[in-house]
Structure 1
């Protein structure tokens, strides 16, 4: 997919895209220089690593080196893994698959040459999510894209799945025509109910990931590779900042993301989209273009699209700014699910590089947004929870659970409704999303109760009501918790115990 419309491809575009990252342009002045790597009279065709004139072969070596460094130094893929690459037909995912095939081929040669024959080689497959229902693509265009993907990755397992598979029972896609039609109708209504274009893009990204995870779990894969480039991640950093997602920003820019049942890895985080597109053009690697939600739309149509165009303007002035944005954001404290699994031998050689992650989870568990899976702050869940329970409504298992466990961005862009409209929209979400909201709400209640369990008076204590009111007053005065989420929660829980 093109530009910002393909999160799984890291901003890589197909051959029909008109954005600057997909054009095989030569860098200014590169054609008159010699390759800095070869030094034997080979003319440079581009500027790699922001400042180094390179020829075609050295450009690929540079990209492959970055890819291998990310995989090896951060323990992203091990010989025992089954790797599933999410593809869209664009240059980023195309190059990622080619590099994994090359690494796998060398590993297979080493395994065949080993005397004991015990060396393992990771398994490789690709998945393509058909989003024609949401994008309103003609059936012929959608089928052509699927067939092109199968031809493009001939020789390795190719899984194609429609986006509405997320409505399957127990995570399994439905094969019956009636169920399929019902799922497509639900999916269409869900996207029609989201009025904000930024919300539509974020919802599409979430459902796409759920579909990828479904395929990975059913087929026995242990790692999911997303071809997110530095270009795409830089745009996500800018967009997330404007949406007020600064707290959760470190979660999705690390090399490893363990929020999902199958861990997600980003081996192309240090590569820029333009270099990958140029390599595809030089190596004549086939790519396809599938239009997205904001293809050829005004840059101001969504925050995501605006952030992408902003990054495009920055890289035209100074190509290194993409890396600068990513490196700066990567310095933020990550979460425990971003911790890298590094072999003991590599940890001993360089212990400082692998002693990161988990800094934000030492004091409390990490609760995730029911919709976008972004980590939540304590204050993010308090307003809706207080209002819902304060009105005497049981929020267990209904839309109130989801609204009380959503991040502010999703509440504003995806799920702003209240009352009957909210209840109707709640039923349009996949079962997995609704179950996640109920589970998160219940886990948070249990955790908060465990935090104050030692301070609660036993039920058999005489004069319980008066003592508990005295306790609440003391907590409010001494701890000054009346402006946080824990005081109203304690009040409700203790009053519920009394009545």
Structure 2
């Protein structure tokens, strides 16, 4: 309620009840009440990595950011190799590469271990420390899958780019059609492969057969190119699926 001022009408004066009023009456002074919002207020959904305390947590990593999660995986991968002596300096390793996340992780981690071994060898005075070799194998299954030729060409280009973009040491890439397991003549091999698949009626049986042929191709590549170890990129979820699938098939055969 406005005061009835008695005075000069300048906006400052004394009313009949002796109250004081100035030009800012009715306007709150916000200078003492404003405070900038904190980062929590700006991003209430954001959670920081419990390890580095700097980057945002990504899903399904147990509270880690992308960088810390990657470093944690690599540390466990390297520890397993060291503990069980899976790779020695004289080995020649063939990595089965499909382009999926698991095989890409294996390729990157093995490459990083090889790169560090190469740096240690280069830093040694006599440079007599051998460094294990790495090759990459991709099994082309276009003979039994319906994929457009353009899509296949793009996939092959991406595959070559992934391998060639890795730093030294250089890795040889082997792209082998799955029908080559039957014959060096790819057309004849394709016919034999399709004839064999036609003898299997159920989808699961065909998948198992293709998996077996894929492994034979990888072993053939390893033997012909003098690789002494074969590395497969399989995640724990996929291994669990294989175990459950094998258990179900075992029961269906009446072997339980």
Q: Give 1:90 deviation, angstroms.
A: 1.0
Equivalent positions of 1:427-438 (< 5 A) are none
Residue 47 of structure 2 corresponds to residue 33 of structure 1:
yes
Q: What pairs up with 1:139-150 in 2 under 5 angstroms?
A: 139-150=149-160
Q: 2:55 aligns with which of 22, 28, 42?
A: 42
Q: 1:134 is paired with a residue of what secondary structure?
A: coil
- The CA deviation at 1:183 is 1.1
2:29 is matched with which residue? none
2:163 counterpart residue number: 153
- The answer as to 2:221 corresponding to 1:208 is no
- How far off its partner does 1:71 sit? 1.2
Aligned residue for 2:95?
85
Report if the CA contact (8 A) 1:130-1:142 is conserved. Answer: no
Number of aligned residue pairs: give it. Answer: 205
User: 2:226 corresponds to which residue?
Assistant: 220
Structure number with bigger Rg: 2
1:121, CA displacement in angstroms?
0.8
RMSD: 1.9
Aligned to 2:180: 165
The 1:127/1:210 distance shift into structure 2, 3 A limit, reads same
1:187 to 2:193 alignment: yes
1:141 and 1:97 mapped to 2: Cα distance? 23
SS in 2 for 1:115: coil
Higher helix share: 1
Residues in 2 aligned to 1:187 and 1:139: alpha-carbon distance in whole angstroms: 20
Gaps of 5+ in 1: 1-30, 169-173, 246-302, 304-407, 410-499
Deviations 1:434-481, CA, capped at 9 Å, x for gaps: xxxxxxxxxxxxxxxxxxxxxxxxxxxxxxxxxxxxxxxxxxxxxxxx
Q: Aligned pair 1:129/2:142, yes or no?
A: no
Q: How far off its partner does 1:114 sit?
A: 1.6
Query: What are the residue-to-residue correspondences of 1:321-400 with 2, within 5 Å?
Result: none
Counterpart contact for 1:85–1:126, Cα < 8 Å: yes
CA contact (8 A) 1:134 1:191 kept: no
Q: What SS does the aligned partner of 1:83 have?
A: strand
In structure 2, distance between residues paired with 1:139 and 1:44: 40
Distance in 1 separating the partners of 2:101 and 2:210: 21
C-alpha distance in 1 between matches for 2:195 and 2:157: 28
Rate the CA distance shift 1:161–1:73 in 2: closer, same or farther, 3 A: same
- Alignment gaps of 5+ in structure 2: 1-44, 165-169
Determine the C-alpha separation between the residues in 1 that align with 2:121 and 2:142.
Answer: 42
State whether structure 2 residue 65 is matched by structure 1 residue 55: yes
Partner SS state of residue 56, structure 2: coil
CA deviation after TM superposition for structure 1 residue 146, in Å: 2.0
Deviation at 1:216, TM superposition (A): 0.8
CA drift at 1:46: 3.0
Q: Give the CA deviation at 1:43.
A: 2.6
Distance 1:200 1:42, change over 3 A: same
2: CA distance, partners of 1:195 / 1:42: 52
Secondary structure of 1:128's counterpart equals: strand
2:244 matched to which residue of 1? 238
Seen in structure 2, the aligned counterparts of structure 1 residues 46 and 138 have a Cα distance that, compared at 3 Å, is closer
1: CA distance, partners of 2:188 / 2:71: 49
Q: CA deviation at 1:218?
A: 0.7
SS in 2 for 1:46: coil
| TM-aligned CA distance change 1:236 to 1:104, over 3 Å | same
Aligned counterparts, 1:473-488, within 5 A: none
Q: Does the 8 Å contact 1:44/1:55 carry over to 2?
A: yes
